[in-house]
Structure 1
């Protein structure tokens, strides 16, 4: 039976590189735990390529389905709260905007082979939902206090 992930300390890779990398034979990837930095993952190039192909195919099919089928768009709006529970704090119009933006960003990011724009889009909408979940914060950010302190100088420019 193949395990999904082998976890080892980074020092183990440094001290026993052959034995540590041999762990890839029984695992899909090795998670290298580092004490003072972000953890690293080691996997094979073939697995990365395979994962990218699967992600690409899934993204293209999902986006095509949502673009061409009204029922799929409706279903997407119904299931978004399951995938992203925090959308419950957004208006229906905002949930539709989130779904539309996600459907636009997914294929664009996939075409570049860099999904960070998708993560950024999701995080931005989640932060919006966080603001809407807190009535005091929402009021503080949306209430016009009538105060205007004039133009803001460029960073580094003293006035």
Structure 2
């Protein structure tokens, strides 16, 4: 999956996460910033939720407006994103919103695709992710890829 030569912004996002070992989100008492997908519908015909993350605190801060005005920028260790959040997001059938802009435009991606791209980039670059669950993440990704090859994901 990685690299995506046609998507320089996504590649820069991956590189920044590997470099800083941190991802940013906006959160409040009810959870992290989310919006409805503009590209995917669930089996109920409703837009799939998209949980938004950013590579820099400045990009996250720029999106603190309207319904997210009261949210706080939260730093999340990359290990937590990869070992806990992305698997949970996949199981909850939500998407990841990568570096959305203040108009809520950005890349909507399957959580396991992002996981795979991070794993691939880290391996290619010799970055030690220091994740205890690393073998489980690799296995989860491989099982997801086998499953995805047999049928479509979100429509």
Whether TM exceeds 0.5 here: the answer is: no
- Structure with the larger strand share: 2
Larger Rg: 1
**Length-normalised TM-score, structure 2:** 0.25
> Going by fraction, where is helix more abundant, 1 or 2?
1
**Which fold has the larger relative contact order, with Cα–Cα distance below 8 Å and residues 6 or more apart in sequence?**
2
TM-score (structure 1 length as normaliser): 0.24
